[in-house]
Amino acid sequence: MIAHNLGYPRIGSHRELKRACEQFWAKKITPQQLQEAGRQLRQANWLTQQQAGIALVPCNDFSFYDQVLDMSLTVGAIPKRFKPLLDEPTAYPLALYFAMARGYQQDGLDLKAMEMTKWFDTNYHYIVPEFSADQSFSLLSEKIFTEFDEARETLDTLPKPVLLGPVSYLLLGKEKEPGFDRLTLLDRLLPVYKQILGRLQQQGAEWVQFDEPCLSLDLTPHQQEAIASVYGQLRQQFPNLKLLLAAYFECYGANLNLALQLPVDALHLDLVRCPNQLADILTTDFVQRPTQLSLGVVDGRNIWINDLEKSLATVRQAVAALGADRILIAPSCSLLHVPCDLSTETAEAGLPSELNQWLAFARQKLDEVVTLVTLSQEPDNPQASALLVTNRAALQARRESNQINRPAVQQRLRQLSEQDARRASDFSQRQAIQHDRLRLPLFPTTTIGSFPQTDAVRANRAKFKKGEKTLAEYEAFIRSETEQAIRWQEDVGLDVLVHGEFERNDMVEYFGELLDGIAFSQNGWVQSYGSRCVKPPIIFGDVHRPEPMTVRWAQLAQSLTDKPVKGMLTGPVTILQWSFVRDDQPRRDTCLQLALAIHDEVVDLEAAGIGIIQIDEPALREGLPLRRENWDTYLNWAVMAFRVAASGVQDHTQIHTHMCYAEFNDIISAIADLDADVITIETSRSQMELLDAFARFAYPNEIGPGVYDIHSPSVPTVAEMVELLRQATQVLPARNLWVNPDCGLKTRRWPETTEALKNMVQAAQTARETI
């Protein structure tokens, strides 16, 4: 039985990679220094895994930016615009590489970065490969070979190179011109993969891991055939290399038969996401074939300790059917998605002391994998048995802890009914009541919530956190910023004002810190994209709102103006989606607990005289399961959670929601089911195209299609915004339209914000007069 790993976090336990990359981009270190930093990180990771007892250690899982981008460079899929940078004479063309990731504005060149998008259902983002009809491929980078040699020198055992498989690589990319299907490029791509395998074989590789995560998606017969053909060919040409095929984040589902028939040496199963898969496989004739199974029993997507006893039972079931020598044990997926090492958390950190014993980061997960192998082979091993005892006790403590169990919250959840998720009257009645009360003009103007987070705002917060400023000083500063923002919005002439969110570091962290049942690690960073890391909150227990969270600030802002001030909250689905979520109850239940906490806040805001309340849900779409057959179940509870949060108020209180750039076509009926009085969305970049989904559906409620893109500092003209509004009125009734930027303004600076919003107010005025 082999302990192995699919991939290890590359950022370093103190975000060394981030620092090195950013210094390199700022020209503070040389390419050689950056390469050296990378080499040291790889080395440390390999040794860590070896010392933990992992027998088959991955290599080529390191990346300076992203593993999909690495693949594009390896197979020479360089978009034409980057050709001027192609001749850099190094084995790892850094300038080209980072230009593809981040764009290149130098030496008279202005090259746009490649697109970035989410990696399956994670918060990791990869660089989307770009393909043209005349696309050719050639082996361009030595990275994989260099890293194999390095790993081989470092380790006592042969490393296992990891490659993104050719079918997933193509499917993750995009055709950059019409008229061809990227999968037809396979015939041109495969020779490069064969070249890679040939070289690795020469270098002495024994195992090679092919990641084909597209097997976790719904595939067409054509795509399935492509997979079968690829691995058939590779098998034929490399009979002596051991091929491990890995998919994760879902069941193989309808692709299971295909996966089981593939002529590979080992097949990896994500048994955390899909525990039943094993039993299904053991009833097929797979049992009679020699293929090995890699059991992904340790959760690579979450930070909870493994239930070793339960995993052992799974392993024993597989051993009984296949024999121990056909089994590998692993995390469910690459450990890229969890923080590096729990032992860097210090005692005085934010984590409640009890919580620590329930957590396992990447480093700790290696121990779990190795312990499972040991216990399966020598049940009486004293060290491993002791770990089992500790594990059992920790799990028991977790089940019983009163930090986790809040009977009152559980009781409330049980009593939740459809009624709690329904406003008193239908939208049409509410709309009349709200229009009567708010008396806003046609095309009312507003913003999405945040205003520029200036250096002063950030510095003030940092000083407060470090204890260099008292709470009173800190709050006095926030008060004065809020006051200025109110005066400024009045000057600009906006109709519905906001308080500006100056007291918030981040839209989820702010609420996470104020809610019971949610904790923050000190050092639990996870790569989001490139050098950007996030530290997701840890939802560990029943969620409870000990006291109002935003009422003071909203009330302060409202007291300063006669115009309506919109209260500003983050919705339950978004808090859930951007956190590590407890695994001891369904996600749905955790989401509804969050919804109850937000519900209470909404009710308190209304009681404090706030007549308009926005509940942001930018992550609603992100939560969609990978397979369509599971969409409805998710959307049902996600929509229910939003409605629970929003439904405690009277008809005259107007509920807004905001969603960032998203495809709405296929979820439009769920969006309508949210029944928000007003939804603001990002549409300016698509020239209102995104509104078509709402128009086709005859979306009944009010809607604010963003009329300008806040992601760039350029100031939109009045004319272009009037034109967008005119386009909007062609598909939706004018009385339902709002005028607003397409997202929050916290990343902008004040000068361009002032100009842009003045133009926006002017555009609304023009629209009222001319449309």
Judged by CB under 5 A, which stretch of 189-197, 375-383, 696-704, 735-743 contacts Zn ion? 735-743
Phi, psi values for residue 364, rounded to 5°: -70, -30
Smallest gap from residue 410 Cβ to ligand GLN (A): 30
CA gap 596, 403 in Å, rounded: 18
Q: Which residues are annotated as a binding site for L-methionine?
A: 448-450, 501, 616
Say how many C-beta atoms besides its own lie within 10 A of residue 352's C-beta.
Answer: 13
Q: Which residues contact 70 (CB under 8 A, 6 or more apart)?
A: 60, 63, 141, 143
CA gap 289, 389 in Å, rounded: 36
- Distance, CA of 611 to chain centre: 33
- Which entry of ligand GLN, Zn ion, none binds 12, CB below 5 to 8 A by partner kind? none
- Helices vs strands, H then E, count in the chain: 27, 24
Residue 121 in tokens? 């259902």
Nearest CB to Zn ion, comparing residues 515 and 681 = 681
Smallest gap from residue 652 Cβ to ligand GLN (A): 23
- Which entry of ligand GLN, Zn ion, none binds 571, CB below 5 to 8 A by partner kind? none
- Which entry of ligand GLN, Zn ion, none binds 507, CB below 5 to 8 A by partner kind? ligand GLN
- Which entry of Zn ion, ligand GLN, none binds 363, CB below 5 to 8 A by partner kind? none
Instruction: Please list every residue from 656 through 675 that binds Zn ion, using CB under 5 A.
Output: 660
Q: Which residues are annotated as a binding site?
A: 15-18, 118, 123, 448-450, 501, 532-533, 578, 616, 622, 658, 660, 673, 682, 743
Phi, psi values for residue 141, rounded to 5°: -120, 145
Q: Are 643 and 603 in contact (CB under 8 A)?
A: no
Quote the DSSP letter at residue 435.
H
Q: Which residues of the chain form contacts with ligand GLN (CB under 6 A)?
A: 448-450, 501, 507, 568, 616, 618, 658, 660, 743-744, 746
Residue 349 parent element (H or E): none
Smallest gap from residue 48 Cβ to Zn ion (A): 38
- Strand segments, DSSP code E, in 437-515 are none
268 is catalytic: no
The CA R_g of the chain, rounded to the nearest whole Å, is 27
Indicate the pairing of strand 207-211 with strand 242-246. Answer: parallel
Smallest gap from residue 448 Cβ to Zn ion (A): 6
Indicate the pairing of strand 327-331 with strand 532-534. Answer: unpaired
Q: Which residues contact 636 (CB under 8 A, 6 or more apart)?
A: none
Indicate the pairing of strand 242-246 with strand 174-175. Answer: unpaired
Q: Are 36 and 17 in contact (CB under 8 A)?
A: no
CA gap 699, 694 in Å, rounded: 5
- Coil vs helix vs strand at 39: helix
CA distances, 481 to each of 373, 452, 467 (Å): 58, 11, 20
* Strand ranges of the sheet holding 580-581, from the earlier edge strand across to the other edge: 516-519, 538-544, 580-581
Residue 268 backbone zone (phi > 0: left; psi -120 to 50: alpha; other: beta): beta
How many residues bind Zn ion (CB under 5 A)? The answer is 2
- Dump the DSSP string for 518-576: EE--SS--EEEETTEEE---EEEEEEE--S-SSHHHHHHHHHT-SS-BEEEEE-HHHHH
Smallest gap from residue 291 Cβ to Zn ion (A): 47
Smallest gap from residue 680 Cβ to Zn ion (A): 8
Q: Are 375 and 312 in contact (CB under 8 A)?
A: yes
Phi, psi values for residue 412, rounded to 5°: -60, -40
Tokens 């990275």: give the residue: 143
Residue 190, CA atoms < 13 Å, CB-side half-sphere: 16
Q: First and final CA of the chain: distance in angstroms? A: 73
Handedness of CA 693, 695, 700, 701 (dihedral sign): positive
Q: Which residues contact 191 (CB under 8 A, 6 or more apart)?
A: 137
Q: Which residues are annotated as a binding site for Zn(2+)?
A: 658, 660, 673, 682, 743
Residue 345, CA atoms < 13 Å, CB-side half-sphere: 25
749-771 burial, b for 16+ CB within 10 Å, e for fewer?
eeebbbebbbbbbbbbbbbeeee
CA angle at 125 for the pair 167 and 588, rounded to the nearest 5°: 100
Contact call for residue 743 and Zn ion (CB under 5 A): yes
Considering only CA atoms, which of 767, 607, 573 is closest in space to residue 676? 573
Q: Are 386 and 325 in contact (CB under 8 A)?
A: no
Q: Which residue is nearest to ligand GLN (CB)?
A: 744
- Distance, CA of 111 to chain centre: 27
Smallest gap from residue 513 Cβ to ligand GLN (A): 16
Catalytic positions are 711
**Which stretches of the chain bind Zn ion, using CB under 5 A?**
660, 743
